[in-house]
């Protein structure tokens, strides 16, 4: 029985975005958690999965809701985590990697901002498994444009629900405010986690499996 709970974040540490805006956003996030529990608690009985038409069916509805809610939960967990808690001075190995990859911090911010302005859902700093380099990817919704085997480091929500209450249509100002709230300790912890995991996967020649084989 799944009973996933929303994570708790300290919104008092966020500067320039109102508590009301953040609380309303958090409510949406808790809704994704609720729906994910509901979907994952759907029993494996034929009456739940034999209606499977690809245009419209019970199974199709469940599967579309599943990817949307899983990614909605994961992305918001990462987003709220990397914008709360202070530690807002760019620093550490991830900062060095960003400067190395994008040429300068200013260029990175300019690029991240532009990606954020161009998308309807998310802008994400990630390390991809193909080249193991930093990329800023974008998506129009939680599960549209998602990339598999790509490790997310910095998540920026650019849905209108993330800023419209405080910033109206001025998404650029919201993005600038979000950037000032980035928790660089969180980014460095994620970066370190990726490095350690990738070293482990290299040791096992990429055949990583979460289950014990013995």
Q: Find the part of the chain contacting Fe ion (CB under 5 A) among 42-50, 98-106, 119-127, 155-163.
A: 155-163
The single residue listed with the structure tokens 């911010």 is 109
The single residue listed with the structure tokens 């994952």 is 40
143 touching Fe ion, by CB under 5 A: no
Q: Residue with CB nearest Fe ion?
A: 157
Query: Is residue 195 within a helix (H) or strand (E), and if so which, with residue range?
Result: helix 184-203
Within residues 158-197, the interface with Fe ion by CB under 5 A covers 159
Q: Count helices and strands (H / E) in the chain.
A: 8, 3
Q: How far is the CB of 122 from Fe ion (least distance, A)?
A: 8
Cβ atoms of 142 and 75 closer than 8 Å? yes
Among 73, 124, 157, 181, binds Fe ion (CB under 5 A): 157
Size of the site for Fe ion (CB under 5 A): 2
Closer CB to Fe ion, residue 78 or residue 98? 78
Q: How far is the CB of 29 from Fe ion (least distance, A)?
A: 7
Q: How far is the CB of 178 from Fe ion (least distance, A)?
A: 12
Closer CB to Fe ion, residue 111 or residue 159? 159
Count CB neighbours of 20 within 10 A: 10
For 127, residues 6+ apart whose C-beta sits below 8 A from its C-beta are: 133, 134, 135, 150, 151, 153, 194
Interface positions with Fe ion (CB under 5 A):
157, 159
């Amino acid at each position: 029985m799944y009973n996933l709970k929303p994570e708790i974040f300290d919104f008092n540490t966020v500067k320039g975005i109102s508590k009301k805006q953040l609380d309303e956003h958090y409510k949406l996030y808790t809704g994704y958690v609720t729906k994910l529990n509901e979907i994952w608690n759907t029993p494996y009985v034929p009456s739940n999965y034999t209606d499977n038409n690809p245009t419209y069916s019970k199974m199709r509805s469940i599967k579309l809701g599943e990817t949307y809610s899983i990614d909605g939960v994961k992305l918001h967990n990462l987003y709220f985590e990397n914008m709360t808690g202070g530690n807002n001075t760019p620093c550490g190995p991830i900062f060095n990697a960003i400067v190395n990859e994008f040429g300068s911090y200013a260029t990175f911010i300019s690029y991240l901002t532009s990606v954020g302005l161009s998308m309807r859902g998310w802008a994400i700093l990630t390390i991809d498994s193909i080249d193991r380099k930093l990329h800023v990817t974008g998506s129009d919704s939680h599960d549209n444009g998602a990339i598999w085997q790509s490790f997310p480091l910095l998540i920026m929500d650019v849905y209108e629900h993330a800023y419209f209450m405080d910033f109206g249509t001025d998404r650029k100002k919201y993005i600038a405010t979000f950037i000032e709230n980035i928790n660089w300790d969180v980014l460095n912890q994620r970066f370190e986690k990726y490095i350690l995991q990738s070293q482990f996967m290299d040791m096992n020649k990429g055949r990583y499996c979460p289950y014990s084989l013995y």
